[in-house]
Amino acid sequence: MNTNRVQAATKAKEAHIQNIQRNIEHRLEVARAKGDEKLIRQLEAEMRYFG
């Protein structure tokens, strides 16, 4: 039973990180399209943190 909870928590954590990465990637695309260099640098730093 405990193993199932640990596995479920691990899967949830992985899914959460993947969602964050996808969100940052989308925000990066938008920032690049707008030419917002400051935001691009910030988002690239976030990608390194979560990547």
Q: Are 42 and 24 in contact (CB under 8 A)?
A: no
pLDDT tens digits, one per residue of 1-51: 688 999 999 999 999 999 999 999 999 999 999 999 999 999 999 999 988
Q: What is the pLDDT of residue 50?
A: 86
Longest CA–CA span in the chain (Å) reads 51
Pairwise CA distance, residues 11 & 14, whole Å:
5
Distance (Å, whole) CA 40 – CA 51 = 16
User: Rounded to 5 degrees, what are φ and ψ at 35?
Assistant: 75, 25
